[in-house]
Structure 1
Amino acid sequence: MALEDSSHCHLTDATIDTDSAATAASSPSSSSSTVNHTLLLLHSDDLDSRMEAAREIRRLTKTSQRYRRHFSVSVAPLVQMLRCQSADANVAALAALLNLAVKDDLNKVKIMEAGALEPIIDFLQSEHVTLQEHAAAALITLSAYPINKPIISASGAIPLLVDILVHGSSQAKYDAVLALYNLSTHPDTLNQILQTKPIPPLVNLLKSCKKSSKTVEKCTALIDSLMDFEEGRAALTSEEGGILAVVEVLESGSLQSREHAVGALLTMCQSNRTKYREPILREGVIPGLLELTVQGTPKSQPKAQMLLCLLRDTPYPRSELQPDTLENIMCNIISQIEGEDQLGKAKQMLAEMVQVSMEQSLRHLQKRALICTPADLPINSCGSEVPTK
C-alpha cells in the first residue's frame, strides 16, 4: 500500500471526543499536567502536534497500566490517524494503540470497535517495513483477546500474514507467526490457515531460526495443530526437508518446541503408520525420541514412548528380542519407564543406545551436515518477543 506524506490530516467532528478528553483531563486520577497536555495535543488540528502526542502516549503506556486507563479516551483519535496519508503518522498512532492494548482487554475491544482493523490489514501489505512490522505486532495483541479472534480471521488477515512469512523482514515474520498462532487457537481458524499453504514458509523458518527461539516454538506449535489434517500431513511430507526440520527441533529445541515436534510426528504416525513410519525413521528420529523419554516435559515423555512403539517393525509387544540391539534398548525403555527408579534406568539405557547406534547413524549425520549448510539458511536471526513497542 503506497503512502503519501502530507502535512495535514483533519479529524472529523464525530471522531473528536472533546467531552471525554476534558473529563479524563479533569478527573482526580488523571490530573497530571502531562496527561492533560498530551490529550490536548492529540486533538490539535496540527498533524505534527498529534504525532507528538501519539509518541508520548506510546512512551507513557509502555509499562504502565495506569496510563493505559488514563489514555483509553485517546483510542478514537489515534485510530483516525491510521487513515492519514502519512507513514510517520501511521507508525506513531499504531505504536501508541499497540501499547494501549497490551494487557488491557477493554482497550483491545475499544480499538476494534473504533475501526482500527481495516487500516491495520492494509498496513500488512505496505512496503514501509516498520509499518508492516507494527501492523503484525498489533494483530498479536488484538488477537490475544478471544472475542477478537474470529473477527480478525474473517477480515482477510490470514493470507496476508502467511505472505509475510515468505516476504517480510525477520521481525515481521516473527510477529506474523505469533499472530497466526493466536488465531489458530480459535475453532475453525486452523482450516482457514491451512488453505493458505503455510507449511513451506513455516518449514523455512524452522530451518533458519535458532532452534531454542520463540519463533521456532510457535512455528512448531502451528505445525503440530496442522497435522490434524491430512492435507497438512501431506504438505509436510512433500516439502523438501520438512520432516527433517521437525526432527531437528525435537532434538535441540526448547522443551515446549520439542513437545510440539513429537506431537506432530506422533499424530502423523497414528493417522497412517504405514504411510508415515518410514519417512519419519529416515530422518534419524530415534536418538532424539529416546532422550525425550528422559528429559522431556510430562506431556512429551509419553508421546515419545508412543511414537517409539509405532516406529518399531511391529507396533505390538514382542516376546523375544535379540540382546544389545537398538530395538531391545528402545523396548526396554518403553516397558520399564513406569517402574521404580525410572530416571536412572532410562539414563543408563540412553547411554547404551548412543553407543550402539552411533556407528549406524554416522552416515545419516554426515548426509544431514551436507544438506543443511549455513548458505541454505535465508534468515540469520529472529527477533525476540517484545510485548510493547
Structure 2
Amino acid sequence: MVKEEILMEEEEEEGKGNLEEEEEEEEEQMQTKNRKCKNVIEEIAEKLKSAVEEVDKIEAAKEIRKLVRKSSFSGKTRSRFAAAGVIPPLVDMLQPCSYSLLAREAALLALLNLASRNERNKIRIVASGAIPPLVELLKFQNGNLKELAAAAILTLSAAAANKPTIAASGVGPLLVQILSSGTVQGRVDSVTSLHNLSTSKEDPKLVLDARAVYPLMNLLKDCKKYSKFAEKTTALLEILSNSEEGRDAITNADGGILTLVETVEDGSLVSTEHAVGALLSLCQSSRDKYRELILKEGAIPGLLRLTAEGTPLAQERARTLLDLLRDSPPENRFSSSTLERIVYDFAAQVDGTDKAADTAKRLLQDMVHRSMELSMSRLQLRASSCTPSKVQSS
C-alpha cells in the first residue's frame, strides 16, 4: 500500500513537471511570436517612412492595415505602430495636392484601423493634422472616400480631447449634408459624429445647423424610438429646439411635433427625456404659438405617464410642460396640483364640462393601461436577456 502511494506521488510530481515544461514552452513560443511581430512592425514602419515612390507608401499602408486586422495582439500592434512613428506619414498621405485618391484611401483605411479601440492613437492622429484633409474628403463626390472620411470623423470624435478641434473645423454642415443624401451607413455615422461633437465640454463647441432638423426627423420617424440611435437623434433635436430657426424647422417638418410626441410615448428613458425637452423648449419659447400644436398631437397621455415613469429630469420637464399646456397659465407649480384635477381640466377643454368626468376617467385608465404594458415589456426584455447561467448564479 505504501509502495502504491509512493508511485502515485512520483506520477503526480512527474505530471507537474511536464505541465511546467509545457507552460514554459508556450511562454517561449509567445515571446518568439511577439518578437517577430515587433520586428515586422519596425520593418513596415521604416518602409513607410523611407519610401520615395507613392506605390511603396501605398503598399506599406496596406500592410499596416492588414497586420492590425490579422494580428492576435491587435491592441499591442496598434500601439507599437504608433510608437514606430507611422501616424505622421499616414496623415501626410491624406493631403489632396500631394497624393492620388488611391494613396489617400490606403492611408485612411490604415489610420481607421490604428484608431479603433485606441484612445491615444485617436488623439495622435488629430494632433498630427488629420482633420483638415478629412474635411476636404467630406466635400468629395467620390462616395467611398466620403463615407470613409465620415467614418474617420466618427471614430476620432469619440475621444473627448479631439472634440473642440473637430468642432472648429467646419465639419458640421458637411455632416448635415450626408444626413440628407448619404447611404444608410453614412447617415448613421453622421448622426453619431454630430452627437459626439455636441457633447463636448470645452470650447469651441459645435454649432448645429437648423437644416439638420428635416433629415433628423425623418430618421427618427423610421427608427425604433427606444433604440440607441433614437437617443442620439432626439438629443440633437433637443439642442436644435433651443434656437428659433430650429423650432421653426421642427414645426414645419412633416409630422415633426407628432414624432416627438410618439417618442415621449414609446421611447427609452433617454430618448423620452430629450423628446419632452424639445417639446418643452417649444412651449416655453412661445406658449401661444405651440400649445395648440402640441395638444392636437395627443401629447397628454404620454406626458402623464412620464410624470410617473421617466427619469427625474424627464418627470420635471413633463410636469412643467403639462402646466404650460393647461387652459390658463399656472400660478403655482405642478406639484401643488393633483393629477386628477389636471386630467379633468384637459378633459373639460376637449369635450366640455358635461363629458369631462368620463373623458378624464378614460385618460387615466389609458395612462395606467399603457404603464402596465410598458412595465410588462420591460420585464419580458429583462427576462429574455438573462441566460440560464445568470439565473442560476443570482
TM-score calculated relative to the size of structure 1: 0.69
Question: Quick check: which one's helix share is greater?
Answer: 2
| Aligned counterpart for 1:34 among listed residues 37, 50, 63 | 37
Query: Does residue 1:49 correspond to 2:49, yes or no?
Result: no
- Rounded to whole Å, the distance in 1 between the matches of 2:288 and 2:71 is 55
Larger mean CA deviation between 257-266 and 73-82 belongs to 73-82
| Aligned counterpart for 1:80 among listed residues 76, 92, 104 | 92
Q: 1:54 touches 1:78 (CA, 8 Å); kept in 2?
A: no
Note the alpha carbon deviations across 1:37-75, whole angstroms, 9 max, x for none.
Answer: 244235254245314323225416899443332121321
Change (3 A) 1:115 1:356: closer
Query: Does residue 1:126 correspond to 2:140, yes or no?
Result: yes
Task: Give unmatched runs, 5+ long, in structure 2.
Answer: 1-30, 349-360, 371-394
Note the alpha carbon deviations across 1:4-44, whole angstroms, 9 max, x for none.
Answer: xxxxxxxxxxxxxxxxxxxxxxxx99953224224423525
| Aligned counterpart for 1:185 among listed residues 188, 199, 204 | 199
Q: Summarize the alignment of residues 256-271 of structure 1 with structure 2, pairs less than 5 Å apart.
A: 256-271=270-285
Q: 2:167 touches 2:206 (CA, 8 Å); kept in 1?
A: no
Note the alpha carbon deviations across 1:167-193, whole angstroms, 9 max, x for none.
Answer: 111111111111111222346766732
- Rounded to whole Å, the distance in 1 between the matches of 2:204 and 2:133 is 22
How much has 1:307 moved relative to structure 2? 1.4
- Rounded to whole Å, the distance in 2 between the matches of 1:143 and 1:198 is 19
| Aligned counterpart for 2:318 among listed residues 292, 304, 311 | 304
Change (3 A) 1:325 1:161: closer
| Aligned counterpart for 2:344 among listed residues 324, 327, 333 | 327
Q: 1:211 touches 1:249 (CA, 8 Å); kept in 2?
A: yes
Q: 1:143 touches 1:149 (CA, 8 Å); kept in 2?
A: yes
Q: For residue 81 of structure 2, what is the aligned residue in structure 1? A: 71
Q: 1:290 touches 1:330 (CA, 8 Å); kept in 2?
A: no
| AA partner of residue 352 (structure 1) | Q
Note the alpha carbon deviations across 1:112-166, whole angstroms, 9 max, x for none.
Answer: 2322112211221333434322211221232233443232222221111110001
Q: For residue 216 of structure 1, what is the aligned residue in structure 2? A: 230
TM-score calculated relative to the size of structure 2: 0.68
How much has 1:299 moved relative to structure 2? 2.2
Q: 2:240 touches 2:247 (CA, 8 Å); kept in 1?
A: yes
- Rounded to whole Å, the distance in 1 between the matches of 2:305 and 2:109 is 44
| AA partner of residue 307 (structure 1) | L
Q: 2:326 touches 2:346 (CA, 8 Å); kept in 1?
A: no
Change (3 A) 1:56 1:355: closer
SS at match of 1:314: coil
Ranked by relative contact order (alpha carbons within 8 Å, sequence separation 6 or more), the top structure is: 1
How much has 1:222 moved relative to structure 2? 0.8
Change (3 A) 1:352 1:228: same
Q: How many residues end up aligned between the 2 structures?
A: 313
How much has 1:219 moved relative to structure 2? 1.4
Change (3 A) 1:188 1:33: closer
Q: Summarize the alignment of residues 233-272 of structure 1 with structure 2, pairs less than 5 Å apart.
A: 233-272=247-286
Change (3 A) 1:101 1:356: closer
Look at both structures and tell me which one has the larger radius of gyration over its CA atoms.
2
Task: Give unmatched runs, 5+ long, in structure 1.
Answer: 1-27, 332-347, 358-389
Q: For residue 24 of structure 1, what is the aligned residue in structure 2? A: none
Q: For residue 352 of structure 1, what is the aligned residue in structure 2? A: 365
Q: 2:93 touches 2:104 (CA, 8 Å); kept in 1?
A: yes
Q: 1:82 touches 1:119 (CA, 8 Å); kept in 2?
A: yes
Change (3 A) 1:90 1:103: same
- Rounded to whole Å, the distance in 2 between the matches of 1:117 and 1:36 is 31
How much has 1:234 moved relative to structure 2? 2.0
Q: For residue 22 of structure 2, what is the aligned residue in structure 1? A: none
| Aligned counterpart for 1:94 among listed residues 108, 125, 147 | 108
Larger mean CA deviation between 36-45 and 297-306 belongs to 36-45
